[in-house]
Amino acid sequence: MIKFFIFIIFLIVFLSAGAAEWSFPAPKGATVEWVTSSAQVNNLNIKARKFQSQQGMEAVLQFYRNLWEGNFAEIDYGPWRLISAKNDDLMYTVQVQVATGGNGSFGILGVSDIPKQILSDDFLKELAKNFPKMQGSQIESDMKMDDPGKNGQVILLTNKFSIASNISYYKNYYQNRDWQTRVDQSSGFSAPHTLVFAKDRQLVNLVISRSGGKTNVVANLVKKGVINW
């Protein structure tokens, strides 16, 4: 279960939100700053800051191993190394990788109230529950952002249907509800297909691709607060 906690934090590399009060020590000498004002990942409130350090990745990891001695989990995720610890009802996660050129490191510090919420039986049922999807589709992640002037949501889902079937489904769904098709294009056979629909102050951008025997649909939903698209 703790690896699942860490993976959820990984999904917010460029996002942050209002979770509990920030109390997260950074490695000595690291520069730390907020990324954005508000976000929600899989219905979980999370705070995140990015950092840069002159220390190498291993030194940063060792700092947190010492800090959380006997109470942490550590995994590799592509070029990233993630280390996480649970304290009371909060999960603290560090995501770090080697900086370009091999000098120093950079990453994300994340704090979330994940443990209390994720154990709820209804947790996964609430993810992207209002977003249209083909029968049997699995919601992998649901990220919500609330920035000045616009609200956004990024949804990742997978299913067993072909790219063509997903294209047909979403074109029928949105066009039958009076959305305008702004983009409908692919770069080649079996390549990712992009669909963009607009209506009033709402925009839906879909990228549909195929890998590992399943189809991935990434949906970026944006609603602007003042002017039409």
Predicted confidence (pLDDT) per residue in 15-43, tens digit: 333 334 446 888 888 888 765 545 555 55
- CA-CA distance, 83 to 106, in Å (whole number)? 14
Residue 150 binned pLDDT confidence (cut-offs 50, 70, 90): low
Q: Cα torsion at 75, 4, 60, 97 (round to 10°)?
A: 70
Q: Give the least confident one: 21-30, 37-46, 142-151, 168-177.
A: 37-46
pLDDT at 96 over 50: yes
Q: Give the least confident one: 95-109, 111-125, 139-153, 189-203.
A: 111-125
pLDDT tens profile 98-131: 998 888 999 888 887 655 555 555 655 667 788 9
- CA-CA distance, 206 to 152, in Å (whole number)? 14
Which amino acid appears at position 19 of this protein? A
Task: Give the model's pLDDT for residue 193.
Answer: 94
Please say whether the beta carbons of 34 and 16 come within 8 A.
yes
| 86 φ/ψ sector (left φ>0, alpha ψ -120 to 50, else beta) | beta
Please say whether the beta carbons of 38 and 16 come within 8 A.
yes
Task: Give the model's pLDDT for residue 149.
Answer: 62
